[in-house]
Amino acid sequence: MNLLKEGGIPIGRMLFIPKEGGVTKDDLEIEANGQYTLMERPDCFIIKNAECCRSILVKVFKKD
């Protein structure tokens, strides 16, 4: 698996992952230490922090 993006997401904020190289939603593997929602737009994927009281750490991988 290739690491696409890694970072912390504060309360109510989002992490944007650009769609590059034909990446689909099924290609993503997400590791997080809290609750999140995954949304898809034509140009990117959006991971939003769904925790009410704390920031979360997220790692996004592309499956091989």
Q: pTM of the predicted model, to two decimals? A: 0.89
Separation between Cα atoms, residue 26 and residue 55, nearest integer Å? 25
Q: What are phi and psi of 58, to 5 degrees?
A: -135, 140
Structural domain including 12 reads 2-62
Q: How many domains does the chain have?
A: 1
Q: What is the pLDDT of residue 20?
A: 87
DSSP summary character for residue 12? T
Per-residue pLDDT tens digits for 1-47: 899 999 999 998 999 999 988 899 999 999 999 999 999 999 999 99
Q: How deeply is 43 buried, as exposed, middle or buried, from its count of CB atoms within 10 A (0-12, 13-18, 19+)?
A: exposed
Separation between Cα atoms, residue 27 and residue 40, nearest integer Å? 13
Asked whether the predicted pLDDT for residue 59 surpasses 90, the reply is yes
